[in-house]
Amino acid sequence: MTSPLQQKIKITGPSVVTANRTIDGVVVYRSADQRWATDLAEAAIVRDAPTARALLAEAAADDVGAVGAYIAPVLIAADGTVLPGNLREQIRRDGVSITLPSVR
Amino acid sequence: MYVYDEIDRTLVAERVAEFRDQVQRRLSGELTEEEFKPLRLMNGVYLQLHAYMFRVAIPYGTLSAPQLRKLAEVAQRYDRGYGHFTTRQNIQFNWIKLADLPDALAELAEVGLHAMQTSGNCTRNVTADQWGGVAPGEVEDPRLWAEILRQHTTLHPEFSFLPRKFKIAITASEHDRAAIKIHDIGLRLRRNEQGETGFEVLVGGGLGRSPFIAKTIKPFVAGRDLLSYVEAILRVYNQYGRRDNIYKARIKILVHELGIDKFAAEVENEWRQLAGGPLTLDDETIADIRSRFIYPDYPPLPDAKELLAQASASEPAFATWLANSVAPHKQPGYAIVTLSLKPVGAPPGDATAEQMAAIADLAERYSFSEIRVAHEQNLVLPHVAQRDLPELWHALEAIGVATPNVNLITDIIACPGLDYCSLANARSIPIAQQLTRRFSSAAAQALGQLHLNISGCINACGHHHVGHIGILGVEKNGEEYYQITIGGRADQKAQLGELLGPAVPFDQVADVIEDLVEAYRELRAGPQELFVDTVSRLGVEPFKERVYATRQ
Amino acid sequence: MPLVSNGQIVSDRYRSIADDAELPADGALLLSAARFLASADSLRGHDGPIGVIWPNDRNIAELVPHLDQLATVVLLFPTFRDGRAHSQARLLRERYGFRGELRASGQVLRDQFVFLLRNGFDSFDVKKDSDAEAFAAAASRYSVFYQPAADQAVGALQRRRQLRGPAQGGQP
Which residues in chain C have their CB less than 8 angstroms from residue B284's CB?
A: 161
Give the pLDDT of residue C161.
83
pLDDT tens readout for residues B11-42: 999 999 999 999 999 999 999 999 999 999 99
Using CB atoms, pick whichever of B5, B8, B284 lies closest to residue C161: B284
Q: What is the ipTM of this complex?
A: 0.95
Beta strands (DSSP E) in B69-164 are 82-85, 91-96, 127-128
Give the pLDDT of residue B58.
98
Looking at the predicted structure, is the pLDDT value of residue C97 above 80? Answer: yes
pLDDT tens readout for residues B435-492: 999 999 999 999 999 999 999 999 999 999 999 999 999 999 999 999 999 999 999 9
Average pLDDT, chain C: 93
Percent of chain C past pLDDT 90, that is, above it, reads 88
Identify the residue among B31, B33, B101, B474 best suited for mutation to test binding to A, counting A beta carbons within 10 A and taking the highest: B33
How many Cβ pairs within 8 Å bridge chains A and B? 85
Q: Which helix (H) or strand (E) holds C165?
A: helix C156-168
User: Between chains, do C81 and B17 touch, taking CB under 8 Å as contact?
Assistant: no
pLDDT band at B549 (very low <50, low <70, confident <90, very high): confident
Neighbours of B314 (CB within 10 A): 10
Put residue C45 in one of left, alpha, beta given phi > 0 → left and psi -120 to 50 → alpha. left
Using CB atoms, pick whichever of B22, B160, B288 lies closest to residue C160: B288
What DSSP string describes C43-86?
Answer: HTT-BS-EEEEE-TTS-GGGGGGGGGG-SEEEEEESSTT--HHH
Please name the CATH architecture into which domain C3-141 falls: Alpha-Beta Barrel (3.20)
pLDDT band at C172 (very low <50, low <70, confident <90, very high): very low
B504, B487 contact by CB (below 8 A) = no
Q: Which subunits have 3 or more CB–CB pairs within 8 Å of chain C?
A: B
Give the CA count within 13 Å in the CB-facing half-sphere of B486: 27
Signed CA dihedral, B452, B453, B457, B458: sign only: negative
Which residues in chain A have their CB less than 8 angstroms from residue B80's CB?
A: 100, 102
Rounded to an integer, what distance in angstroms lies between the CA atom of residue B422 and that of residue A65?
19
pLDDT band at C162 (very low <50, low <70, confident <90, very high): confident
Q: Could you give the 3-state DSSP secondary structure of residue B510?
A: helix
pLDDT tens readout for residues B69-116: 999 999 999 999 999 999 999 999 999 999 999 999 999 999 999 999
| DSSP structural state of residue C92 | I
User: Between chains, do B7 and C160 touch, taking CB under 8 Å as contact?
Assistant: yes
First and final CA of chain B: distance in angstroms?
Answer: 55
Which residues lie below 8 Å from residue B211, measured CB to CB, with a gap of 6+? Answer: B182, B460, B465, B496
Using CB atoms, pick whichever of B47, B82, B350 lies closest to residue A67: B47
Q: Mean of the pLDDT values across residues C93-112? A: 97
Looking at the predicted structure, is the pLDDT value of residue C167 above 50? Answer: no
B150, B195 contact by CB (below 8 A) = no
User: Between chains, do A1 and B478 touch, taking CB under 8 Å as contact?
Assistant: no
Nearest CA among B392, B374, B448 for reference residue B134: B374
Give the pLDDT of residue C169.
35
Distance from CA of C76 to the nearest CA of B (A): 13
Give the pLDDT of residue A104.
57
User: Between chains, do B346 and A104 touch, taking CB under 8 Å as contact?
Assistant: yes
pLDDT tens readout for residues B42-82: 999 999 999 999 999 999 999 999 999 999 999 999 999 99
Signed CA dihedral, B255, B258, B260, B262: sign only: negative
Which residues lie below 8 Å from residue A26, measured CB to CB, with a gap of 6+? Answer: A20, A38, B50, B51
Q: Mean of the pLDDT values across residues B180-197? A: 97
Which residues lie below 8 Å from residue B414, measured CB to CB, with a gap of 6+? Answer: B347, B348, B349, B377, B428, B429, B431, B432, B453, B454, B455, B462
Q: Mean of the pLDDT values across residues C68-91? A: 97
pLDDT tens readout for residues A45-100: 999 999 999 999 999 999 999 999 999 999 999 999 999 999 999 999 999 999 99
Rounded to an integer, what distance in angstroms lies between the CA atom of residue B140 and that of residue B136?
10
pLDDT band at C168 (very low <50, low <70, confident <90, very high): very low
Average pLDDT, chain A: 92
Q: Where do the domains of chain B lie, and which CATH numbers do they carry?
A: 6-109 (3.90.480.20), 142-290 (3.30.413.10), 305-398 (3.90.480.20), 413-549 (3.30.413.10)
pLDDT tens readout for residues B225-239: 999 999 999 999 999
B189, B199 contact by CB (below 8 A) = yes
Looking at the predicted structure, is the pLDDT value of residue C123 above 70? Answer: yes
Report domain extents, chain C. 3-141, 144-172
Using CB atoms, pick whichever of A22, A88, A101 lies closest to residue B352: A101
Give the pLDDT of residue B438.
97
Spell B470-498 as b/e; 16+ CB within 10 A means b: bbbbebeeeebbbbbbbbbbbbeebbbbb
CA distances from B307 to B301, B310, B322, B338, B389 (A): 13, 5, 12, 20, 10
How many Cβ pairs within 8 Å bridge chains B and C? 102
| DSSP structural state of residue B237 | H
pLDDT tens readout for residues B326-382: 999 999 999 999 999 999 999 999 999 999 999 999 999 999 999 999 999 999 999
Distance from CA of C140 to the nearest CA of B (A): 10
Give the CA count within 13 Å in the CB-facing half-sphere of C151: 23
